[in-house]
Amino acid sequence: MADVTSASIDRGAGTHEAEPPFEVFVERKPPGLLRRYFATQRHFIGLVFGGLISFVRTRPRNKRGFWFQWLRVLSWVVRPLTSSKYVGLTFPVQLRRRLEALGPTYIKLGQILSLREDILPRSITDELKKLLDRLPALRFERFVELIEEEVERPIDDVFSWVDETPIGSASIGQTHRARTLDGDEVVLKLVKPGIRRTIDRDVILLRILGRTLQVFLSRLQPKRVVDEFCEYTLREVDLLREADNAETFAANFRDDDEVVFPAIYRELSTRNLLTMEYLDGIKPNEPEAYSLSRDERDVLTDLGAGAIIQMLYQDGFFHADLHPGNLLILDGPRVGFVDLGMVGRFDDELRRNLLYYYYCLVMGDSENAARYLAALAEPVTGSDPKGFRREVEEISRRWHRNPTFQEYSMGQLILESVSRGARYHMYFPVELVLMVKAIVTFEGVGQILNPGFDVVEISKVHIGRIFAHQFSPLRIAREGLRGAPELVDALVKAPMLVTEGLRVLEQSTRQPRENPFSGIRATVFAGFLIVAGAIVAALGGPTWLWIVLFGAGVLIAVRRGG
């Protein structure tokens, strides 16, 4: 685990003077699992005690009942056991500062939790958004040593220049600009030493904590939230996965030269080092962006919205850590996406439901928008899907009366709708929350570049294109070919199954009975099921369906015959 000293890395020329220097990342041997466990428990227990003290201190007088007096006594008892630097703080501030004290893994956890307004109070998520995003950086000499270890040769044999000043230093990685011997401008991203081992140990402890909290706070689904976070973090710490993500995005947008992703230098990349193309552009919130012409800003707004809508609703593979710092305006104008370590994935069913939800939303169909959103949630104990649909429908209608960014943006609408899920015990997958973040980002960037732009009209154009692609005859034919092996197998087996089913049916109808009419209904029904199964198989219907129909028909016929 790394500690921070008061020293700082010298900043090179060309950096913004207003930015403070990076503090120094000091390498320490990662603590053992037991030691890390006690450190985590100390902060967790301290947070519980501090939260109790904060609750007693801020509780309104008119809500102080009999139990409050017992809580007040308990807060006096635990006060000496709570660090004085946390005692006077509100619970959200205590949570943020303790996460920062626990280090990179917990900072990352807090950043993910800041998005979960569907299950956490707004006071907590707003405070967690203030978590550090500018963390200690390695000294340049140590950075060079680690690069040489990864490429297994002297750095001068690979790069003609490496910038001494980091571009950024986050909880997991540190980035610098560099130039290859061939003259290519690149970015070097390095996983900080000891981070992977620390994260592995923290993941074990977090999963234990999540399962413990599940017993007491099942409504908030802590086990699932922790498991989702652990999965995303373990992916992000492997930089070869980020390389895969960049190449997947590039393939998805190979026909669109105006949406750019950095090329990957595979021969200079490992799990701990990623070498990628440097995209020379400006961020949409930098002053240079305001000097662009109105036409250029219109084009950029349309490109960004189209790219994000395609990621979400066509490809089902999207940038899950979108913010203005990860978007670039390139010459052309073109749009560039960087920092691709965290991605979201939708399976086909989830992607289709999200597509239908978003389509109904922008088309003004509030009733069906609420229905599709409710279908995305997983009900838990005590859930009320009908009540949730009614409230979301009302929120959507209210938004359609005044769909402006300043008053009530689309991102706010979706976020508020998802947030109501906690009230009705409806749990949404983390991918949906990440989708909301992407929409909020493109709305915010659109307003920066083109104040007053109509997100609904832009969305209608691109969502219509997605629908045209989704239901094109060629795509439907391709989707049908996915089941071709099962279809061929069903067609081969259909004659045999039909013959066998009819033979059993014929035998069953010839069996002597005390009452010749007693089994006629069952026999006819069995025959209907067998013939229906044959028709479904011949038409290429789902394999499970015709098997169920055949099986049920044959079973009824045999039982009646017996």
Torsion of CA 68, 71, 72, 75, to 10 degrees: -160
pTM score, two decimals? 0.71
Residue 207 reports pLDDT greater than 90: no
- Residue 425 identity: H
Mean pLDDT over 537-552 rounds to 59
Residue with the bigger pLDDT between 508 and 454: it is: 454
Residue with the bigger pLDDT between 28 and 284: it is: 284
Quote the percentage of the chain above a pLDDT of 70: 76
Residue 365 reports pLDDT greater than 70: yes
Using 50, 70 and 90 to split pLDDT, how confident is the model at 155? very high
Burial of 280 from C-beta contacts in 10 A (0-12 / 13-18 / 19+):
exposed
Residue 159 reports pLDDT greater than 90: yes
Cα 321 from Cα 170, distance rounded (Å): 13
Residue with the bigger pLDDT between 164 and 404: it is: 164
Q: Average model confidence (pLDDT) for the chain? A: 79
Strands (E) across 118-214 are located at: 159-162, 168-169, 173-180, 185-191
End-to-end alpha carbon distance in the chain? 74
Which pLDDT value is given to residue 505?
57
Helices 430-449 and 348-363, interaxial angle, to 10°? 40
Tokens in use for 452? 């007053």
Using 50, 70 and 90 to split pLDDT, how confident is the model at 531? low
Which residue in this structure is represented by tokens 């309104």?
A: 60
Which of 37-41, 174-178, 348-352, 411-415 comes out lowest in average pLDDT? 411-415
The 3 state secondary structure assigned to 9-48 is CCCCCCCCCCCCCCEEEECCCCCCHHHHHHHHHHHHHHHH
- Please tell me whether residue 342 adopts helix, strand or coil conformation: coil
- Residue 480 identity: G
Could you read off the pLDDT of 81-113 as tens digits, one per residue? Answer: 888 888 888 999 999 989 888 887 888 788 777
Tokens in use for 421? 């899920």
The 3 state secondary structure assigned to 298-326 is HHHHHHHHHHHHHHHHHHCEEECCCCHHH
CA-nearest of 403, 418, 387, 388 to 453 is: 403
For every residue of 329-341, DSSP letters joined together read EETTTEEEE---S
Could you read off the pLDDT of 209-222 as tens digits, one per residue? Answer: 888 887 777 766 77
Cα 132 from Cα 338, distance rounded (Å): 20
Residue 76 reports pLDDT greater than 80: yes
How are beta strands 343-345 and 159-162 bridged, if at all?
unpaired
Element (H, E) at 504: helix 484-510
Q: What is the DSSP letter of 64?
A: -
Using 50, 70 and 90 to split pLDDT, how confident is the model at 526? low
- Please tell me whether residue 197 adopts helix, strand or coil conformation: helix
- Please tell me whether residue 282 adopts helix, strand or coil conformation: strand
Mean pLDDT over 50-57 rounds to 87
Residue 336 reports pLDDT greater than 60: yes
Which pLDDT value is given to residue 157?
94
Residue 307 reports pLDDT greater than 90: yes
Count other C-beta atoms under 10 Å from residue 43's C-beta.
Answer: 21
Burial of 53 from C-beta contacts in 10 A (0-12 / 13-18 / 19+):
buried
Which of 269-273, 371-375, 433-437 comes out lowest in average pLDDT? 433-437
Residue 19 reports pLDDT greater than 70: no
Phi then psi dihedrals of residue 258, to 5 deg: -90, -5
Could you read off the pLDDT of 125-143 as tens digits, one per residue? Answer: 888 888 766 778 899 999 9
Q: What is the CA radius of gyration of the chain?
A: 30
Residue with the bigger pLDDT between 264 and 503: it is: 264
Which pLDDT value is given to residue 324?
80
Q: What is the DSSP letter of 137?
A: B
How are beta strands 327-330 and 378-379 bridged, if at all?
unpaired
Residue with the bigger pLDDT between 491 and 175: it is: 175
Q: Contact at 8 Å (CB) between 338 and 419?
A: no
Using 50, 70 and 90 to split pLDDT, how confident is the model at 24? confident
Cα 203 from Cα 236, distance rounded (Å): 13
Query: Domain extents for the chain?
Result: 3-19+27-131, 343-477, 483-561
Residue 85 contacts by C-beta under 8 Å, 6 or more apart in sequence? Answer: none
Residue with the bigger pLDDT between 33 and 356: it is: 356
Using 50, 70 and 90 to split pLDDT, how confident is the model at 64? confident
